[in-house]
Amino acid sequence: MDPAHAILFEPVKIGPVTAPNRFYQTPHATGFGWQRPQASAALRGVKAEGGWGVVCTEYCSIHPSSDDSPSAYLTLWGEEDVAPLASIADAIHAHGALAGVELWHGGAHASNRLTRLPTLAPQTQPALYHLPTAARAMDLSDIRAFRGWQRDAALRAKRAGFDIVYVYAGHDYLPFQFLSRRTNQRSDAYGGTLENRVRLLREMIEETKDAVGDTCAVALRMAVDELHGPDGVTAEGEGRDIVAMLADLPDLWDVNVAGALGNDSKSARFSGEGYQEDYIRFVKGVTGKPVVSVGRFTSPDRMVSQIKRGVQDFIGAARPSIADPFLPAKIREGRADEIRECIGCNICRAANNEGVSLRCTQNPTMGEEWRKGWHPERIAPHAPDKVLVVGAGPAGLEAALSLGQRGLEVSLAFAERQAGGRINRESTLPGLATWARVRDWRLTMLAKLPNVTLYPESVMTADDVAGFGADHVVLATGSVWRRDGVGVLGMTPRDFAGALTPDDIFAGAKVNGPVVIYDDEHYFMAGALAERLAGQGHDVTYVTPQNLASAWTVYTDEQGFVQARLIEAGVKLVFSRYVTAWVDGALQTDCAYTGRTLPPLPCGTLVLATGRVPVDGLYQTLVGRVASLARVGDCLMPSSMADAIYSAHSYARELGETPQPLRREMPPHRGAL
């Protein structure tokens, strides 16, 4: 271990328990929920094995009136929940870490679509999701019942073996709804003055400590700024006052910003490492209890700085612990160069928002610990066969690395001078520089493998490949952007002679204004290109058949930031239109709803960002000529970098193995709702 990092491995006392080090995996979603406790246990167990001193669950509902279906979540509604949760705590304890459980009630955020119970809130208001439901104002009997639900769930958590039990007043959930003037205009003892609005949270902490505080630490997770300005809780205003009122009551403060989950887990495109420090740094000056916060920390030196400057006592992490569950172990063992650094792409958040199991661009094993038995640091050896990988984008690099780690003799051939493929282009877009970590980490690890050889500037023909003499050939030749305008919503091929694609822009094609970027792919590309071109001084119009800019980024919690950035950059936004023709500098568009042709838009350069097609010509000519031939990544199916890397890793890990059926976890009987 580098002596400069030793402070990160000091034990820290939290109430009646002691964390073995300062690495704290804060609560984060997995997509497994109460339906798949074995998958949850395996995932959290790997985190503990990787050296995290504290490993927490995702949000755990305390009562059926806090039902987030169809999103996955844990439950401690009754005694039948104790055993499944105990399996998660046991998996964490097996590696010497403390286990934390985040007790949760969503209030107006809870849809209750499964339980069909009334949605509860401090006041009558529209429910925040699944409209047109309204949330019912809680009366005093509801508040007493709610306090009982928290206490009962805490006792169940203690019986399940958890060491840290949360009171959760963040992310606009029910206890925070009582704190904020925006959502609490009550006139009784639980509304009005700040002291009254804090009353429920104080009671929750006191009653949770009374129930389990003899053996369990009671943590308070609270948003100190809801990012709604002076009308809400702010770090310099009521956020500081609330911390002062409750200063030493909880055993630990887990602090962040809120307003929405997207503010707390802001992508790298819109925030830097440790960006929450400006909001939360005051907390340690107000309380004598340990403090943890998050900031997408991947640099050990920055972690040490946070501790030494008194910003926090732990290094809180969700996304970095997903990208590399063994981050603490690598720092401890002096292998910081091997950390799989989080790129802040928020594909993990997209999985949660889509209602599917956790995934990660950097770490293809995330979420597959139980289902496929994958481990982020271990992979079964293979006979030292000779394998040729063609293409060094994200899929090619991953295939070469994983095959090399299995012991095969790998040759990686690629046409460009620099490995990286699409990464080299996409990481030059505004805010996406961290995406280069996908390339850099793999090149770092490949350089440590004597059985892997890279051949840059090597264009491979079918004859070259067939004559290479490899036992296995893996094609990772990528994809190109379409020129016919076919996209997610517009399925009719059209002739757009002279139009450019993102590939052309990256290649340095000349752009004449005014520029129109047509987005029918809806992820990051069109919006990021519009921002870049506007920043270069071009007159840019963004057109899409959707009614939002970069609409799919709703899932990565980025869409609002994308649209605001484009507006600030002066990009004109035109929604709900298909582009149907481009003639003599005039762009014809049709209304996406009525089909009516609308007045033309001036257009000197048309950029089509509608979809991609695989570059699979080499594959087609090699079918039948090479016995063991495979496609991976975009060459197989154009998609995200996360999917490309997963595809390559899956091929490499399963090469030579007996195919296994997809393993499904059958949910246990939960009793009547």
Specify whether 350 is located in the same domain as 435.
no
Backbone angles phi, psi at 390, to 5 degrees: -110, 115
Q: pLDDT tens, 142-157?
A: 999 999 999 999 999 9
Report yes or no on 663 lying in a domain: no
pLDDT value at residue 668: 57
CA dihedral 304, 342, 274, 349 (to 10 degrees): -140
CA distance 571 to 540: 5
Domain count across the chain = 3
3 state SS of 612: strand
Average pLDDT over residues 412-437: 98
Six-digit token string for 661: 């059926």
Reported as a pLDDT band with limits 50, 70 and 90, residue 660 is: confident
Mean pLDDT for the stretch of residues 511-539: 97
Judge contact between 347 and 360, C-beta under 8 A: yes
CATH of residue 468's domain is: 3.40.50.720
For residues 25 and 44, give the distance between their C-alpha atoms in angstroms, rounded to a whole number. 9
Say whether 222 sits in a helix, a strand or coil.
strand
Mean pLDDT of the chain: 95
Two structure tokens written together for 199: 């009353």
Query: Regarding beta strands 120-121 and 98-104, do their DSSP bridges make them parallel or antiparallel, or are they unpaired?
Result: unpaired
- pTM for this predicted structure: 0.95
Q: Which of the four pLDDT bands, split at 50, 70 and 90, describes residue 363?
A: very high
- Whether residue 45 contacts residue 25, with contact meaning beta carbons closer than 8 Å, is answered with no
Would strands 12-14 and 612-614 be described as parallel, antiparallel, or unpaired?
Answer: unpaired
Q: Which residue has the tokens 């100190």?
A: 224
Clarify whether residues 516 and 459 are in a common domain.
no
Q: How far apart are CA 336 and CA 280, in angstroms?
A: 27
Calculate mean pLDDT across residues 179-197. 96
165 and 132 in a single domain? The answer is yes
Question: In whole angstroms, what is the distance from residue 296 CA to residue 271 CA?
Answer: 10
Report helix, strand or coil for 247: coil
Is residue 486 in a domain? yes
Q: Give the pLDDT confidence score for residue 671 in this predicted structure.
A: 52
512 shares a domain with 395: no
Q: Is residue 451 part of a domain?
A: yes
Identify whether residues 269 and 157 lie together within a single domain.
yes
Active-site amino acid positions: 173
In a domain, 667, yes or no: no
598 within domain boundaries: yes
* Together in a domain, 350 and 420: no
Say which range, 127-141, 266-280, 511-525, 613-627, has the weakest mean pLDDT: 127-141
Question: How large a percentage of the chain has pLDDT more than 90?
Answer: 92
Single residue among 560, 592, 613 that ends a domain in this structure: 613
User: What is the pLDDT at residue 673?
Assistant: 44
Residue 280 lies in a domain: yes
- What domain range includes position 131? 3-354
Same domain, 567 and 472: no
Neighbouring residues of 229: CB distance < 8 A, sequence distance ≥ 6: none
Residues 40 and 78 placed together within one structural domain of the fold:
yes
Lowest pLDDT segment from 132-136, 286-290, 594-598: 132-136
Structure tokens given for 344 = 């802040």
CATH number at residue 331: 3.20.20.70
Q: How far apart are CA 440 and CA 419, in angstroms?
A: 9
Look at residue 138 and tell me whether its pLDDT is greater than 60.
yes
Same domain, 217 and 325: yes
Q: pLDDT value at position 130?
A: 67
Answer yes or no: are the C-beta atoms of 293 and 254 closer than 8 Å.
yes
Same domain, 505 and 600: yes
Q: What percent of the chain has pLDDT over 70?
A: 98
pLDDT (tens digit per residue) in 429-484: 999 999 999 999 999 999 999 999 999 999 999 999 999 999 999 999 999 999 99
Q: Tell me the CATH number at 568.
A: 3.50.50.60
Radius of gyration of the chain (CA): 26
Say yes or no: 200 and 87 in one domain: yes
Residues 584, 506, single domain; the answer is: yes
* Residue 255 to residues 277, 279, 348, 639, Cα–Cα distance (Å): 10, 9, 21, 35
Tokens encoding 599: 């007045």
The reply to whether 371 falls in a domain is: no
pLDDT above 60 (res 315): yes
> So what's the pLDDT on residue 553?
97
Is 211 domain-assigned? yes
**Which of 335, 354, 373 lies at the terminal end of a domain, its last residue?**
354
The predicted pLDDT at position 355 comes to 86
Mean pLDDT lowest for which of 106-120, 614-628, 657-671? 657-671
State the Cα–Cα distance between residues 594 and 612, nearest whole angstrom: 27
Q: Which two tokens stand for residue 68?
A: 């987030």
| H or E stretch at 124 | none
